[in-house]
Amino acid sequence: MAFWRKNLTLFLALLLLPVGKTVSATVFTLENSCTYTVWPGTLSGNGGAVLGDGGFSLPPGASVQLTAESGWSGRFWARTGCKFDDSGNGVCTTGDCGGLKCTGGGAPPVTLVEFTIGGVNNQEDFYDVSLVDGYNVGMGVKPSGGTGACQYAGCVNDLNTNCPAELQVTDSGAVVACKSACDKFNAPEYCCTGAHSTPQTCSPTRYSEMFKSACPTAYSYAYDDASSTCTCNGSDYFITFCPTGS
Protein backbone atom coordinates (compact mmCIF):
# COMPACT_ATOMS: atom_id res chain seq x y z
CA MET A 1 0.00 0.00 0.00
CA ALA A 2 1.25 3.45 -0.87
CA PHE A 3 1.64 5.16 2.49
CA TRP A 4 3.67 2.28 4.04
CA ARG A 5 6.57 3.28 1.78
CA LYS A 6 6.68 6.68 3.50
CA ASN A 7 6.65 5.61 7.13
CA LEU A 8 10.09 4.15 7.81
CA THR A 9 10.59 6.77 10.55
CA LEU A 10 7.51 5.52 12.38
CA PHE A 11 8.60 1.89 12.24
CA LEU A 12 12.09 2.79 13.52
CA ALA A 13 10.54 4.73 16.38
CA LEU A 14 8.54 1.67 17.35
CA LEU A 15 11.67 -0.50 17.40
CA LEU A 16 13.41 2.01 19.67
CA LEU A 17 10.54 2.32 22.15
CA PRO A 18 11.96 2.13 25.71
CA VAL A 19 11.13 -1.02 27.68
CA GLY A 20 8.18 -0.46 29.97
CA LYS A 21 6.76 2.58 28.14
CA THR A 22 2.96 2.53 28.27
CA VAL A 23 0.98 3.39 25.14
CA SER A 24 -2.74 3.26 24.51
CA ALA A 25 -4.53 0.73 22.32
CA THR A 26 -6.73 1.55 19.35
CA VAL A 27 -10.28 0.21 19.10
CA PHE A 28 -11.68 -0.56 15.66
CA THR A 29 -15.47 -0.89 15.48
CA LEU A 30 -16.53 -2.77 12.34
CA GLU A 31 -20.19 -2.33 11.48
CA ASN A 32 -22.20 -3.85 8.65
CA SER A 33 -24.64 -1.41 7.07
CA CYS A 34 -25.12 -3.64 4.02
CA THR A 35 -28.41 -5.44 3.44
CA TYR A 36 -26.52 -8.74 3.30
CA THR A 37 -23.96 -10.60 5.39
CA VAL A 38 -20.30 -9.77 4.86
CA TRP A 39 -17.31 -11.73 6.12
CA PRO A 40 -14.64 -9.20 7.18
CA GLY A 41 -11.05 -10.24 6.61
CA THR A 42 -8.10 -8.90 8.58
CA LEU A 43 -4.39 -9.00 7.88
CA SER A 44 -1.46 -7.73 9.95
CA GLY A 45 1.26 -6.07 7.93
CA ASN A 46 4.14 -6.13 10.42
CA GLY A 47 3.93 -9.39 12.31
CA GLY A 48 1.57 -7.91 14.87
CA ALA A 49 -1.45 -9.51 16.48
CA VAL A 50 -4.03 -11.08 14.16
CA LEU A 51 -7.29 -9.24 14.84
CA GLY A 52 -10.59 -11.12 14.88
CA ASP A 53 -8.80 -14.44 14.22
CA GLY A 54 -8.25 -13.23 10.65
CA GLY A 55 -11.91 -13.32 9.63
CA PHE A 56 -15.49 -13.82 10.76
CA SER A 57 -19.14 -13.41 9.77
CA LEU A 58 -20.93 -10.08 10.26
CA PRO A 59 -24.71 -10.09 9.59
CA PRO A 60 -26.60 -6.96 8.48
CA GLY A 61 -26.81 -4.38 11.26
CA ALA A 62 -24.22 -6.14 13.43
CA SER A 63 -20.95 -4.69 14.71
CA VAL A 64 -17.84 -5.98 16.44
CA GLN A 65 -14.92 -4.31 18.23
CA LEU A 66 -11.28 -5.26 17.67
CA THR A 67 -8.36 -3.84 19.67
CA ALA A 68 -4.89 -3.18 18.26
CA GLU A 69 -1.80 -2.23 20.22
CA SER A 70 0.28 0.81 19.35
CA GLY A 71 2.42 0.20 16.28
CA TRP A 72 -0.01 -2.21 14.64
CA SER A 73 -0.39 -1.99 10.88
CA GLY A 74 -2.66 -3.94 8.62
CA ARG A 75 -5.81 -3.97 6.57
CA PHE A 76 -9.51 -4.82 6.67
CA TRP A 77 -11.85 -5.79 3.84
CA ALA A 78 -15.24 -7.36 3.17
CA ARG A 79 -15.83 -10.75 1.60
CA THR A 80 -19.14 -11.51 -0.05
CA GLY A 81 -20.98 -14.63 -1.18
CA CYS A 82 -19.07 -16.90 1.21
CA LYS A 83 -19.88 -20.52 1.95
CA PHE A 84 -17.98 -22.21 4.79
CA ASP A 85 -18.36 -25.60 6.45
CA ASP A 86 -18.25 -26.18 10.20
CA SER A 87 -14.44 -26.25 10.07
CA GLY A 88 -14.22 -22.88 8.33
CA ASN A 89 -13.27 -24.31 4.97
CA GLY A 90 -14.84 -22.73 1.92
CA VAL A 91 -14.66 -19.92 -0.60
CA CYS A 92 -16.09 -16.46 -1.20
CA THR A 93 -17.32 -14.85 -4.40
CA THR A 94 -15.26 -11.70 -3.70
CA GLY A 95 -12.35 -10.96 -1.35
CA ASP A 96 -11.50 -14.64 -0.80
CA CYS A 97 -8.53 -15.32 1.49
CA GLY A 98 -8.24 -19.08 1.99
CA GLY A 99 -11.00 -19.86 4.47
CA LEU A 100 -13.08 -18.25 7.21
CA LYS A 101 -9.91 -17.27 9.09
CA CYS A 102 -7.79 -15.58 6.45
CA THR A 103 -4.34 -16.93 5.69
CA GLY A 104 -3.44 -14.02 3.40
CA GLY A 105 -4.86 -10.89 1.81
CA GLY A 106 -8.16 -10.65 -0.02
CA ALA A 107 -8.13 -11.68 -3.67
CA PRO A 108 -8.72 -8.71 -6.02
CA PRO A 109 -10.92 -7.02 -6.85
CA VAL A 110 -11.48 -5.89 -3.29
CA THR A 111 -11.95 -2.61 -1.41
CA LEU A 112 -9.36 -2.17 1.35
CA VAL A 113 -9.05 -0.12 4.53
CA GLU A 114 -5.39 0.23 5.54
CA PHE A 115 -3.87 1.43 8.82
CA THR A 116 -0.54 2.15 10.45
CA ILE A 117 -1.18 2.99 14.11
CA GLY A 118 1.27 5.43 15.76
CA GLY A 119 0.85 6.32 19.42
CA VAL A 120 4.57 6.33 20.29
CA ASN A 121 5.87 9.77 21.26
CA ASN A 122 2.67 11.25 19.82
CA GLN A 123 3.22 9.65 16.43
CA GLU A 124 0.30 9.99 14.04
CA ASP A 125 -1.93 7.20 12.77
CA PHE A 126 -2.02 6.85 8.98
CA TYR A 127 -5.06 5.36 7.25
CA ASP A 128 -6.77 5.18 3.88
CA VAL A 129 -9.49 3.50 1.86
CA SER A 130 -7.94 1.97 -1.26
CA LEU A 131 -9.38 1.04 -4.64
CA VAL A 132 -5.92 0.17 -6.02
CA ASP A 133 -6.92 -3.53 -5.88
CA GLY A 134 -10.36 -2.80 -7.29
CA TYR A 135 -13.77 -2.56 -5.60
CA ASN A 136 -16.30 -5.00 -4.21
CA VAL A 137 -18.08 -3.28 -1.30
CA GLY A 138 -18.34 0.34 -0.18
CA MET A 139 -16.28 1.13 2.95
CA GLY A 140 -15.83 4.14 5.18
CA VAL A 141 -13.52 5.10 8.07
CA LYS A 142 -14.58 7.64 10.70
CA PRO A 143 -12.14 8.64 13.48
CA SER A 144 -13.46 9.12 17.02
CA GLY A 145 -11.84 10.97 19.91
CA GLY A 146 -8.55 11.86 18.21
CA THR A 147 -6.73 15.10 17.54
CA GLY A 148 -5.34 16.53 14.34
CA ALA A 149 -6.80 16.40 10.84
CA CYS A 150 -8.77 13.18 11.55
CA GLN A 151 -10.74 13.30 8.32
CA TYR A 152 -13.34 10.83 7.06
CA ALA A 153 -12.10 8.46 4.35
CA GLY A 154 -14.26 6.23 2.25
CA CYS A 155 -15.99 5.08 -0.86
CA VAL A 156 -19.71 5.64 -0.37
CA ASN A 157 -20.88 5.28 -3.97
CA ASP A 158 -21.58 1.79 -5.32
CA LEU A 159 -18.99 1.42 -8.08
CA ASN A 160 -20.45 -1.90 -9.19
CA THR A 161 -23.44 -0.08 -10.70
CA ASN A 162 -21.22 2.00 -13.02
CA CYS A 163 -18.30 -0.35 -13.59
CA PRO A 164 -17.10 -0.44 -17.23
CA ALA A 165 -17.98 -3.71 -18.93
CA GLU A 166 -14.33 -4.68 -19.38
CA LEU A 167 -13.71 -4.44 -15.60
CA GLN A 168 -16.85 -6.16 -14.37
CA VAL A 169 -16.87 -9.35 -12.29
CA THR A 170 -20.26 -11.04 -12.40
CA ASP A 171 -21.98 -13.81 -10.51
CA SER A 172 -25.33 -15.21 -11.66
CA GLY A 173 -25.69 -12.24 -13.98
CA ALA A 174 -25.08 -9.57 -11.32
CA VAL A 175 -22.00 -7.34 -11.10
CA VAL A 176 -20.38 -8.19 -7.75
CA ALA A 177 -17.03 -6.41 -8.14
CA CYS A 178 -15.10 -4.01 -10.35
CA LYS A 179 -11.50 -4.82 -11.29
CA SER A 180 -8.70 -2.29 -11.28
CA ALA A 181 -7.18 -1.51 -14.67
CA CYS A 182 -3.89 -2.97 -13.43
CA ASP A 183 -5.53 -6.28 -12.55
CA LYS A 184 -7.36 -6.39 -15.87
CA PHE A 185 -4.67 -5.26 -18.31
CA ASN A 186 -1.42 -5.85 -16.35
CA ALA A 187 0.26 -2.97 -18.18
CA PRO A 188 2.95 -0.63 -16.74
CA GLU A 189 0.90 2.53 -17.26
CA TYR A 190 -1.92 1.05 -15.16
CA CYS A 191 0.24 -0.75 -12.57
CA CYS A 192 2.87 2.00 -12.08
CA THR A 193 5.69 -0.40 -12.97
CA GLY A 194 8.63 -0.38 -15.36
CA ALA A 195 8.96 2.97 -17.09
CA HIS A 196 5.94 4.17 -15.10
CA SER A 197 7.28 3.28 -11.64
CA THR A 198 7.59 6.79 -10.16
CA PRO A 199 5.03 9.45 -9.23
CA GLN A 200 6.36 11.57 -12.09
CA THR A 201 5.86 8.87 -14.74
CA CYS A 202 2.68 7.18 -13.47
CA SER A 203 -0.28 9.46 -14.06
CA PRO A 204 -4.00 8.89 -13.49
CA THR A 205 -5.79 6.97 -16.23
CA ARG A 206 -9.39 7.22 -17.36
CA TYR A 207 -10.15 4.22 -15.14
CA SER A 208 -8.53 5.62 -11.99
CA GLU A 209 -10.15 8.98 -12.69
CA MET A 210 -13.53 7.24 -12.81
CA PHE A 211 -12.84 5.70 -9.38
CA LYS A 212 -11.63 9.05 -8.05
CA SER A 213 -14.65 10.92 -9.33
CA ALA A 214 -16.99 8.46 -7.60
CA CYS A 215 -14.94 8.25 -4.38
CA PRO A 216 -12.82 11.42 -3.95
CA THR A 217 -11.30 10.43 -0.57
CA ALA A 218 -10.20 6.94 -1.64
CA TYR A 219 -6.95 5.83 -3.29
CA SER A 220 -7.60 5.42 -7.01
CA TYR A 221 -4.11 4.32 -8.14
CA ALA A 222 -0.70 3.64 -6.59
CA TYR A 223 0.54 7.26 -6.37
CA ASP A 224 -2.72 8.90 -5.35
CA ASP A 225 -1.20 9.90 -1.98
CA ALA A 226 -1.91 13.62 -1.68
CA SER A 227 -5.70 13.45 -1.43
CA SER A 228 -6.06 9.95 -0.02
CA THR A 229 -3.71 9.38 2.95
CA CYS A 230 -5.34 10.50 6.21
CA THR A 231 -3.76 11.18 9.61
CA CYS A 232 -5.00 11.39 13.20
CA ASN A 233 -3.55 11.21 16.73
CA GLY A 234 -4.91 8.93 19.47
CA SER A 235 -8.18 8.02 17.78
CA ASP A 236 -10.45 5.01 17.73
CA TYR A 237 -12.04 4.20 14.37
CA PHE A 238 -15.46 3.21 13.04
CA ILE A 239 -15.17 1.11 9.87
CA THR A 240 -18.47 0.79 8.03
CA PHE A 241 -19.32 -1.61 5.23
CA CYS A 242 -21.81 -0.07 2.77
CA PRO A 243 -21.71 3.41 4.35
CA THR A 244 -24.43 5.87 3.42
CA GLY A 245 -22.46 9.06 4.10
CA SER A 246 -19.52 10.60 5.92
Nearest-10 Cα torsion for 147, 42, 66, 78 = 90
Q: Flag whether pLDDT at 6 surpasses 60.
A: no
Number of other residues whose CB lies within 10 A of the CB of residue 69: 13
Q: Where are the domains of the chain?
A: 26-225+235-241
Mean pLDDT, range 190-210, rounded to an integer: 96
What mean pLDDT is reported for the chain? 90
If one compares 15 and 137, the residue with the highest pLDDT of the two is 137
Class of domain 26-225+235-241: mainly beta
Q: Poorest-confidence range of 18-32, 53-67, 148-162?
A: 18-32
Counting runs of H as helices and runs of E as strands, what totals does the chain give? Answer: 4, 14
- pLDDT band for position 5 (50/70/90)? very low
* R_g (Cα) of the chain, nearest Å: 18
104 CA to centre of own chain: 14
Contact 156, 138 (CB under 8 A): yes
Q: Give me the pLDDT at residue 82, please.
A: 98
Q: Poorest-confidence range of 64-73, 90-99, 116-125, 170-179?
A: 116-125
- pLDDT band for position 163 (50/70/90)? very high
Least Cα distance to 167 among 140, 195, 134 occurs for 134
If one compares 1 and 130, the residue with the highest pLDDT of the two is 130
DSSP string, 70-86: TT-EEEEEEEBS-EE-T
Per residue in 107-155, pLDDT (tens digit) is: 999 999 999 999 667 789 999 999 999 999 999 999 999 999 999 999 9
Per residue in 21-50, pLDDT (tens digit) is: 335 799 999 999 999 999 999 999 878 899
Helix (H/G/I), strand (E/B), else coil: 196:
helix
Q: Which H or E element spans position 64?
A: strand 63-68
Q: Give me the pLDDT at residue 8, please.
A: 41
Q: Give me the pLDDT at residue 14, please.
A: 41
Percent of the chain scored above 90 by pLDDT? 84
What is the distance in angstroms between the CA of the first residue and the CA of the last residue of the chain? 23
Least Cα distance to 106 among 15, 38, 192, 20 occurs for 38
Q: Give me the pLDDT at residue 34, please.
A: 98
Q: Give the global pTM.
A: 0.88
Contact 31, 241 (CB under 8 A): yes
Q: Flag whether pLDDT at 18 surpasses 70.
A: no
